[in-house]
Structure 1
Amino acid sequence: MNRAAKKNRLHIGKEFAVLVIAICGASLMASCGDDDLDARTDARVACQDAVEARMKSPSTAKFGGVSTDGGRDSGVTVTGYVDAQNTFGASKRTDFACLVDFVGDSPHVRITGLE
């Protein structure tokens, strides 16, 4: 094998090693905090379901500006707004806030604001 081929082969090997390290690092970072991420996702769904249960026309609900804060151990606060039709068919925006606590894997939702 000539010198240029060896140099090219070494260069490709280095690029492959960097790629493998990058993939492993990204995978490791993605696994950090998965439990809290899952908790925030579960809390968001549970809160939106609770808010929809109080609506006159839940099928028209469009949620927006939803944010979550906290985790499985400390509880999750979910805030945002929902646009939906009222009993007269007019669209109305309502702000909401929920506090979601977990007992085991089950989310328990307390709506703390619905205005």
Structure 2
Amino acid sequence: MSNENPPPFAHGAQFPPGMGPQFAGQPAPAKKKRRWPWIVLAVAVVIIALLAIFGATSSTRDSANQSDTAVKACQDTVTDRLSAPSSAKFSDKYTVTDDAEGTWTVTGSVESQNALGVMLRADYSCNVRHEGGTKYSVSVDSLTQ
């Protein structure tokens, strides 16, 4: 009996290609491909892209906020120098230039009453320097009526 052939698919027997030991005569299930490394990579790429986009936007937003603060500081200082500060109406058209040293030059125009109550238009120009935190120094270069 030692010369007898083992029964098909017995322990240690070779299986034909595409067939597995679990169900004789049925093909072995296909191996699942590992998708998790690709999913992790895709999520990482999306996170990096979002950080790059919002990081750039944030610095632009900070610069715009500082520019707006410089305009407000200039206009507040100009208002204090007018004869009738409560009558001041600043034009929406103004220019702001920024140098590399943290100084803004703000130019524009304002309408306000003079000492006699007559509305006059005045052009102004200020240099605004950020001193740190919420402190700004403002020098009014010109205020002409």
TM over 0.5: yes
Distance in 2 (alpha carbons) for counterparts of 1:40 and 1:58: 23
Structure 1 residues 87 and 44: CA distance shift in structure 2, 3 A: same
Cα shift at 1:69 = 1.4
Structure 1: gaps of 5 or more residues: 1-23
Cα shift at 1:34 = 2.5
Could you give the per-residue CA deviations for residues 32-73 of structure 1, whole angstroms, max 9, x where no partner exists?
Answer: 323321221111111001001011111111101222111684
Residue aligned with 2:98, SS:
strand
Which TM-score applies when normalising by structure 1? 0.70
Structure 1 residues 90 and 26: CA distance shift in structure 2, 3 A: farther
Is 1:85 the counterpart of 2:113? The answer is: yes
Q: Indicate if the aligned counterparts of 1:39 and 1:71 stay in contact, CA closer than 8 A.
A: no
More helix by share: 1
Bigger relative contact order (CA 8 A; separation at least 6)? 1
* Identical pairs, percent: 32
Structure 1 residues 73 and 35: CA distance shift in structure 2, 3 A: farther
More strand by share: 1
Equivalent pairs, count: 94
Which TM-score applies when normalising by structure 2? 0.57
Is 1:40 the counterpart of 2:67? The answer is: yes
Structure 2: gaps of 5 or more residues: 1-49
